[in-house]
């Protein structure tokens, strides 16, 4: 298991269909849709790594992963 | 030398005996006369050998569960009649496109709809080939006796396994319920074919045809090859493909695996055909009537012979064509209003004149009717 | 590039999937892999079966033994597989139309037999694949392409239907309540018998557009707001019960399981023969 400081929200824009679930249900409002309509992190410091975005992403395009992971 | 195993048996009973000898381990079906003995005997015998029987909630579920049993690796059978055969059609197509071995016994009765329960008929001959939607090849075998029901049921399982395909045993109420003496062969004297499965750790693509094989190898679910089966057109990986090129390749392979192996699949019988100038083509129980009529006609000096297809689909095209070239006229005798006669006409073309003798009122054809028809047209 | 759980249990080469933006099918399918992972099931031993429809495409993305069958017949195929090899963990994924209209007969009979199959219904209240026709779970007065003037049918309650027919486990959750969904999936798979988890899902493309339900996000928000646990519902004042839908566990009992009972028949017969 990785400790919290080794983890971060990761996004695969190729799979993101821009539904907005991650943005709307993020409890700390750290995500937004960019001008292509894809999910993007706008406040990494504010992210509490709760995983809500990952659970509600229908496209497996956003998840909590290791900072060092590919 | 051991004593011969002679028994008095019904056609339906012989079918189950043969299925068990062929390795049937799974039966799923739904009650319908005149096929019920097949379910009843399977229910009685299968659990004794560790096999499984299940009576499903309807005909569609019967064939679906049987396909499931086959996917899990067991030789599977379902049985039905008339209306039930209609209900099973969609999943016959599924077994065809997904290439799942399966034996479907259809004890034909009078139709359409509820029709004439449970008088005999041979009205499902065309349905056996074209009942499910879309292009596909199918194997259908039709026995004329209890002994032959036994033999072709073994053959049906072998063909299903060998060609990864649904095989239809197209019997009828007469053969299904008739009791005759049969000789049950020793298990060692019967050739049994089991589907080819991939070897351990093999790089397995579920629908890849390998050099020297007739069909792709088939792994049972749960054996460590995690793969996908679908009724959509699919490529070698088993996953759906919308490619028209792929669809073409796949469909042609599915059809040619059967059409190109007619030599192995096609069975037929001839009676007094050597010097025949006229032929009567007939199959199933009706062929017994015709055989009797042929003897009578011969006694009266007419050079008539019987050609009896045992494999109905794919048809004995080469042999039927030869019959057409040999004789001047052909009568096709069958218990329907004119079905297999169309296939005979297609094959024979102008080589011989083709007539039809048949009815579908629930009565079997009598030898005298065949004799009269022969005298009328030959 | 995706999460470890998706890499482990999905056929990455087949992704991204065909489902519309905002469709909750991906959420539910991923939650199923979470449950399988937490239960530690052997991937080679899991069979996922489906019929026809949007949700029935899920097995094609999942790295198990997967079977995409004919419309409505998934449970009948699954019954054959489970009876033929009871060691397999058999899961059915179905839509509301697939499992409660064309496949309704198979649902009640699989439940009645209490055969050890877990059925997960992605209930989006509409036929999505064919373009938005009303289904047996479309609410009365809601619209579909075949109910342009409002649906006059009364909807099925699938979880209660399965429970009444004999399922030994039956529950309902929503595509929004992911933690609860994972727990229900685990409980359903662990139950030795027929299990039903109905997941209230969303179809923004057809149901949403026809019924002016707003965006996918707004429909997810509605799942969050409108569904309430059946225990909590009882405690609500009458005026607040309006418009609420129940979720929770409706049935969780133990009864003899079909394939185990069949094995008893085999054992009795084979034991009997040996004694002869």
Distance of CA C262 to the CA centre of its chain: 26
Length of chain C: 276
Inter-chain touch C22–A21, beta carbons under 8 Å: yes
At C271 the pLDDT is 86
Measured from the Cβ of residue B96, the count of other Cβ atoms closer than 10 Å reads 23
Among C109, C102, C15, residue whose Cα is nearest residue C53:
C102
Q: What Å distances lie between residue C266 and A52, B10, B46, B47, CA to CA?
A: 49, 26, 9, 5
Any C CB within 8 A of B367 CB: no
Model pTM?
0.97
Residue C31 token pair: 């939650």
Measured from the Cβ of residue B213, the count of other Cβ atoms closer than 10 Å reads 11
The 8-class DSSP code of residue B117 comes to E
Residue B299 token pair: 């006694």
Rounded Cα distance between B313 and A61, Å, is: 51
Inter-chain touch B222–C70, beta carbons under 8 Å: no
Inter-chain touch C3–A25, beta carbons under 8 Å: no
Nearest to A58 among C1, C4, C22 (CB): C22
Rounded Cα distance between A58 and C72, Å, is: 24
Any C CB within 8 A of A8 CB: no
Low-confidence spans in chain B with pLDDT less than 70:
1-2
Inter-chain touch B224–C88, beta carbons under 8 Å: no
Q: What is the DSSP string of B334-369?
A: ESSSSSHHHHHHHHHTTSSEEEEEE--SSPPPPHHH
Q: Is B67:B77 a contact under the CB 8 Å cutoff?
A: no
Residue C12 token pair: 């990455």
Q: Which residues of A touch C176 (CB under 8 A)?
A: 56
At B125 the pLDDT is 98
Q: Is B56 left (phi over 0), alpha (psi -120 to 50) or beta?
A: beta
Inter-chain touch A24–C25, beta carbons under 8 Å: no
The domain spans of chain C are: 4-275
Q: Which residues of B touch C271 (CB under 8 A)?
A: none
pLDDT tens readout for residues C6-21: 999 999 999 999 999 9
Rounded Cα distance between B326 and B307, Å, is: 12
pLDDT tens readout for residues B293-311: 999 999 999 999 999 999 9
At A33 the pLDDT is 97
Rounded Cα distance between C174 and C171, Å, is: 10
Inter-chain touch A61–C15, beta carbons under 8 Å: no
Rounded Cα distance between C72 and B314, Å, is: 31
Nearest to B47 among C44, C85, C269 (CB): C269
What homologous superfamily is domain B1-265 in, according to CATH? Thiamin diphosphate (ThDP)-binding fold, Pyr/PP domains (3.40.50.970)
Q: Where, residue-wise, is CATH 3.40.50.920 in chain B?
A: 268-377
Q: Which of residues 19-78 of C touch A (CB under 8 A)?
A: 19-27, 30-31
Among C83, C50, C89, residue whose Cα is nearest residue C66:
C50
| Residue among C61, C75, C80 with most chain B CBs within 10 A, to mutate | C80
Q: In chain C, how many H helices and how many E strands?
A: 13, 10
pLDDT at A70 over 70: no
Inter-chain touch C1–A58, beta carbons under 8 Å: no
Nearest to C21 among A18, A56, A64 (CB): A18
Measured from the Cβ of residue B112, the count of other Cβ atoms closer than 10 Å reads 11
Inter-chain touch C6–A58, beta carbons under 8 Å: no
Q: C164 to chain B nearest CA, in Å? A: 17
Residue of chain A whose Cα is closest to the Cα of C27:
A58
pLDDT tens readout for residues C52-82: 999 999 999 999 999 999 999 999 999 999 9
Half-sphere exposure of A34 (CA within 13 A, CB side): 10
The CATH topology of domain C4-275 is Rossmann fold (3.40.50)
* Chain B and chain A touch, per 3+ beta carbon pairs within 8 A: no
Q: Where, residue-wise, is CATH 3.40.50.970 in chain B?
A: 1-265
Give this complex's ipTM. 0.97
Neighbours of chain B (3+ CB pairs under 8 A): C
Find the largest Cα–Cα distance for chain A.
35
Nearest to B64 among C65, C73, C84 (CB): C73
Q: C254 to chain A nearest CA, in Å? A: 31
Any C CB within 8 A of B69 CB: yes
Residue B187 token pair: 């298990």
Average pLDDT along chain C, 276 residues, taken 10 residues at a time: 95 97 98 98 98 97 98 98 98 98 98 98 97 97 98 98 98 98 98 98 97 97 97 94 96 98 97 55
At C275 the pLDDT is 43
* Chain C and chain A touch, per 3+ beta carbon pairs within 8 A: yes
Nearest to B69 among C60, C83, C87 (CB): C83
Residue C115 token pair: 């055969």
Length of chain B: 378
Any C CB within 8 A of B204 CB: no
The CATH topology of domain B268-377 is Rossmann fold (3.40.50)
At B200 the pLDDT is 83
Across the B/C interface, how many CB contacts are shorter than 8 Å?
Answer: 136
Helix (H) or strand (E) holding B312: strand B311-313
Residue of chain A whose Cα is closest to the Cα of C14:
A15
> Angle at Cα C34 formed by Cα C30 and Cα C38, nearest 5°?
170
Q: What Å distances lie between residue A24 and A19, A52, B57, C219, C221, CA to CA?
A: 10, 10, 46, 12, 9
Q: Is B85:B110 a contact under the CB 8 Å cutoff?
A: no
Residue B326 token pair: 């040999």
Ordered by where they begin, the domains of chain A are 4-66 (3.30.70.20)
Cα end-to-end distance, chain A, whole Å:
17
Token pair 């004119």: residue: B338
Q: How confident is the model at residue A1 (pLDDT cuts 50, 70, 90)?
A: low
Residue of chain C whose Cα is closest to the Cα of B66:
C80
Neighbours of chain C (3+ CB pairs under 8 A): A, B
Q: Which residues pair with B43 in a beta bridge?
A: none
Inter-chain touch B222–C269, beta carbons under 8 Å: no
């Amino acid at each position: 298991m990785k400790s919290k400081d080794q983890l971060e929200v990761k996004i695969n824009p190729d799979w993101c269909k821009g539904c907005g679930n991650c943005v709307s249900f993020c409890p700390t409002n750290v995500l937004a849709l960019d001008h292509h309509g894809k999910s993007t992190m706008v406040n990494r410091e504010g992210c509490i790594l709760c995983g809500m975005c990952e659970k509600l992403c229908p496209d497996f395009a956003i998840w909590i992963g290791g900072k060092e992971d590919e | 030398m051991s004593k011969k195993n002679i028994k008095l048996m019904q056609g339906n009973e012989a079918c189950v005996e043969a299925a068990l000898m062929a390795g049937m381990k799974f039966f799923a079906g739904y009650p319908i006369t005149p096929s019920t003995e097949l379910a009843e005997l399977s229910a009685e015998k299968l659990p004794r050998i560790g096999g499984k029987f299940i009576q499903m909630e309807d005909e569609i579920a019967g064939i679906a569960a049987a396909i499931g049993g086959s996917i899990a690796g067991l030789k599977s059978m379902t049985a039905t009649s008339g209306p039930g055969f209609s209900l099973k059609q969609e999943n016959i197509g599924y077994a065809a496109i997904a290439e799942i071995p399966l034996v479907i016994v259809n004890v034909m009765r009078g139709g359409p709809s509820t029709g004439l329960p449970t008088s005999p008929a041979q009205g499902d001959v065309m349905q056996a080939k074209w009942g499910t939607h879309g292009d596909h090849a199918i194997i259908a075998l039709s026995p004329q006796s209890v002994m032959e029901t036994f033999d072709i049921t073994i053959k049906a399982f072998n063909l299903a396994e060998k060609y990864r395909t649904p095989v239809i045993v197209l019997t009828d109420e007469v053969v299904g319920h008739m009791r005759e003496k049969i000789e049950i062969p020793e298990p060692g004297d019967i050739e049994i074919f089991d589907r080819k499965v991939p070897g351990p750790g093999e790089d397995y693509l579920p629908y890849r045809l390998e050099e020297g094989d007739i069909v792709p190898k088939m792994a049972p679910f749960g054996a460590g090859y995690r793969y996908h089966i679908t009724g959509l057109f699919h490529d070698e990986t088993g996953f759906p493909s919308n490619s028209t090129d792929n669809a073409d390749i796949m469909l042609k392979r599915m059809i040619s695996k059967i059409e190109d192996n007619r030599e192995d699949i096609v069975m037929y019988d001839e009676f007094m055909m050597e010097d025949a100038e006229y032929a009567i083509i007939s199959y199933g129980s009706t062929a017994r009537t015709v055989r009797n009529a042929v003897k009578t006609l011969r006694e009266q000096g007419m050079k008539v012979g019987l050609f009896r297809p045992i494999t109905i689909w794919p048809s004995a095209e080469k042999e039927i064509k030869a019959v057409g070239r040999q004789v001047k006229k052909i009568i096709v005798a069958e218990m329907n209003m004119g079905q297999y006669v169309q296939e005979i006409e297609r094959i024979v073309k102008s080589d011989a004149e083709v007539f039809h003798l048949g009815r579908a009122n629930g009565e079997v054809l009598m030898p005298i009717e065949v004799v009269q028809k022969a005298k009328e047209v030959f | 590039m995706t999460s470890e759980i998706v890499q482990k249990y999905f056929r990455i080469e087949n992704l991204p999937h065909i489902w519309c933006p905002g469709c909750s099918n991906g959420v539910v399918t991923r939650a199923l892999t979470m449950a399988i992972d937490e239960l530690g099931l052997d991937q080679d031993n899991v069979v996922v079966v489906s019929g026809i429809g949007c949700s029935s495409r899920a097995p094609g993305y999942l790295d198990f033994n997967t079977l995409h069958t004919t419309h409505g017949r998934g449970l009948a195929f699954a019954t054959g597989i489970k009876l033929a090899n009871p060691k397999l963990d058999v899961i059915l994924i179905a839509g509301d139309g697939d499992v409660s209209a064309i496949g309704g007969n198979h649902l009640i009979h699989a439940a009645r037999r209490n055969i050890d199959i877990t059925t997960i219904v992605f209930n989006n209240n509409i036929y999505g694949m064919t373009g938005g026709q009303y289904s047996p779970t479309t609410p009365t007065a809601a619209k579909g392409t075949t109910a342009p003037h409002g649906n006059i049918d009364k909807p099925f309650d699938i979880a209660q239907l399965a429970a009444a027919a004999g399922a030994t486990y039956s529950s309902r959750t929503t595509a929004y309540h992911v933690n609860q969904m994972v727990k229900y999936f685990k409980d359903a798979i662990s139950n030795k018998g027929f299990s039903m988890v109905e997941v209230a899902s969303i179809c923004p493309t057809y149901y949403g557009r026809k019924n002016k339900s707003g965006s996918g996000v707004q429909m997810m928000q509605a799942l969050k707001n409108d569904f309430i646990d059946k225990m909590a519902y009882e405690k609500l004042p009458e005026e607040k019960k309006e418009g609420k839908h129940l979720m929770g566990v409706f049935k969780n009992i133990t009864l003899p399981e079909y394939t185990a009972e069949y094995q008893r028949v085999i054992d009795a017969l084979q034991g009997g023969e040996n004694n002869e």
